[in-house]
Structure formats: structure tokens, C-alpha cells
Structure 1
Amino acid sequence: MTLLAVERIKLLTTRSPWWCAVASIVLAGSFTALVVGNATPEFPASVATTQYGYQMGLAVIMVLGALSVTTEYRFNTIRTTFQAVPNRTAVLAAKATVVALLALIIGELTAFSSWGLSLLLAPDYDLALNSTADIVNVAGVGVVYAIAAVIAVAVGLLVRHSAGAISLLMIYTLAVEGLVQLIPKVGADIYEWLPFNVAHKFLTGNGESNGGLEFAGPPLSTSPLSPGWALAYFAGFALVLLIVAIVTTNKRDA
């Protein structure tokens, strides 16, 4: 508990978490407003549509997770931390936990603010959370953000430089997974198992929250997993990457 409190204080006494929280809510909400505000009978709004911009916020969360680590290396506070607590594994696990919890809160605020904004912009459409799929599509955003934050922490530990870690995360999440599909013959098969495509399957399932219309929401994931197994796969990927990062950090000089 002491380590968790220390990491919470270190994280929340900097400006980056607060700016990232605001940026996530504003970016996701703005993008959602553009989509929902232009809904028509031919392209109606649905619960899935209200979360059209969640990936914009996800990018911000990845930046937050990476900065929570790389700024400590930049200002050499990580060395002081390891001197005070020689158990590096416990320190890094506490950091990942605190960042994940903060990302969870930001994710829920982002998702429900986008949903609430959509209710105001499109009152004539059925945007109520009437099913489990609808609830997961909205409330699940925070869970995805939390797991993605752990991935970002792990990448930050491995790279240790803010620019490098953030560039790597942004390039991968915004471009690499989509470009993999262009690989002849095997691209689509590989894409099915890439982590953020799988995470999208957890949120959108088979399109149940699209109101029965395939185009009334973001494109669906191609992952063959069920939403539950998709979440487990995404979490497992993050855990393995974090373990690799912690083992690597234990072997390096601070």
C-alpha cells in the first residue's frame, strides 16, 4: 500500500495526467460529436456510434503511460526510487497498477461523457444501454484504456526515452496494425491476432450495439475470439509485455 501511495503521489503531482484526462475527453467527445451530429436515417446513430472516438482518447492514454516512466528516467528520479526501494519489481508493479487505475477512471469519464453528449445531439435515436453488449461497448472503454496503459508503461520501461517510446506507441497503434492487413496472403490472418484489433472485438463484439446495422458504428474487429476471450487475450499480452519489461529493468543499470 505504501508503494501504491508513493506512485499515486508522484503521478498526480505532475501536470501530465490532468492534461491527458482533459485531452482524452475532449478529443473523443469532439470526434463523436462530428459523427453523431451528422447522423441521418440512412446512417443512424447507435450506442456503438457514441464511442466512435474512443481510439483518439486511447492514443492520449498511451502517451500518459509512457510519460509516467520515461520522465523518471529523464530526471533521474527512478534511480532515487530504486535506492529507496531495492525491490524494483514491486516498484514497477505498483507504478503499472496506479497508471492503470488512473487510465480506467479517465476511460470511463471519456466513454460516458461521449455517450451523454450523443444523447443531447441525437435525442431521436435509441441510445439507451439496453443490453449487455451496449453496456460493454461503453463501460468497457475504461477497461481497454487501463490495459493499454500497462502496455505503454512496459514500452516506456524498455525504451526509457519519451520521444522514442511515444513515437513507437503512436506508430504502432495508429498505423502498423492497419498496414499489416496489406501483406499479401497472410496479412489478414496476422491482423486477426494483433492486440488492439482483439481489444476492439471486446468492445464491439459482433456488432450487437450497432442497432442491427453494420454501418451504424465503427468497423468491427476481425478477431475470431469471443468478447470475453478477446479481453483475456489483450490483458495477457499486456501482462507478458510488462513482465518482459520488468525483467529487463532488473538487469539494467538504473
Structure 2
Amino acid sequence: MSETDTLAVPSGHAAHRIDRLRFWGVPLIWLTLLLVFTFGMAQLEVLLRLIEPDTRQVLYQRTSLAALLGQHVFVVAVASVLAILLGVGGAIAVTRPAGRDFLPLVAQVASIGQTFPPVAVLALAVPALGFGTLPIIVALLLYGLLPIVRNTLAGLSGIDPGVHEAARGMGMTRSQILRQVELPLAAPVILAGIRTSVTINIATAAIGATVGASNLGDPIISGIVNGNTAYIVQGALLIGLLAITVDSAFERLLRRPKAP
């Protein structure tokens, strides 16, 4: 092989980086669009004026969209982490011999959390917690529990009993079986539940603007109150792009090939 041919062939590390870039290409494209619209919304003023030709102000400027995006991500991230800890932890606890009697209770509590409207949760939480970010975190936490609990229970319950027998036959303790056998096998199902929970909460978090939680719901609520559709479009566009970005990232995580 000539020196030119050698240079034309990417090294192993370079080829690996190229493969990773291709694999994560779709989420990166959505993320790029999200950032472009967040920091470049002013460039769309002409198009927004087509939506509201008789309105003096079509660009939402009370707070920067970048700040609202950061606060939106923060609220969803905190609520999602808490939901994951409680949901996965609770599901694991009730699938152990000592906690099986509580399995129906945990499943019912998680179901009630999602069937109870987030607006109602906010209405009940505000008198106790006040206005701001905390009530919407509580609402998102309750709303996001069901998919996580349900999928964790399904993932752990769906493991072949023979796998447990084999693990015990190898002398593994219960904690080792959980960490090294059950959770890795149930991970795809659990991750799918987390994906559903997080994606739903990205959209649901917008209602936090009604109780003083500053996020991407601000332009939407302001647009509804002032009859400004351009404001609504800006908030809805960024929320939609954020949801698609996160959902496509989770989709890639579920498809990620296992290391040899």
C-alpha cells in the first residue's frame, strides 16, 4: 500500500469517532436546530409578523429564550432524577421477597400520580409550597413516576427464573444478582420507561409558568393572555425541539451496540 493510500485510510480511533458521530447524528442535528432557534429567533421576525401582522411586538423579549431553555431543562432534570430514584428504587424494593406485599400499593400510587392532572397538583401544591419552581417539580415528579415504575416492574419480572437459578448456582449474593444480572437485563425496558417519562414532562413543564416557574411556558402563557400567537409559536417550537432532541437521544441509547 502506498503512502497516499495509507493516509487515505482513517486510523482506528478516527474511524471510531466517525462511527460515533454518525450514530449520534440525528440527536445532534435536533440539538443544533434547538440552539439555532434559541439564539437566532430574532432572525425569524419577518416570518413571525406573517402570523401577527397587526401586533407591534412579535418577538418575546421579557426574558431571553436561552435563559428560559436553561430553566426548563433544569426543572425537568430535577423532577426526572427524583422520579428515577423513587420509581426504580420503589420497583426494586417491591420485587424483593420482603417487599412483595407492597407491590400492588406501589403500582397504584404511581398510577394515581399520572391520572391526577398536573394542574390540580399545582393548585394543591401552591398553598403549601408557594409560587415558583418547587410546585412544578412536585407535579412533574408525580406525573413521571408511572412509566418508570411500570417499566421497571415489567423489566425485572420478565427475567427468566432460570437466570436467577444459574446466578445463585454460581454463588452470587442477592445484591450481586441485582447489580450484575437483573438490572443489566432489565435496563432496556427501564430506559424506555424513563424515555417516556422525561419526554412527557418536557411538554408538561410548560404549565409551571402559570404558578411563577419561569421556563419555556412563559411565551406560551403570555401569548394566550395577550392574544399573541407569535409568542405561542416561539415557546411551542422550542419545547417541541427540546422534546425531539431528548427523545432521539434516548432512542440512540436504546439502540447503542453493546461493547464486545
TM-score by length of 2: 0.34
Normalized per residue, which structure has more helix?
Answer: 2
Larger C-alpha radius of gyration, 1 or 2?
A: 2
TM-score by length of 1: 0.35
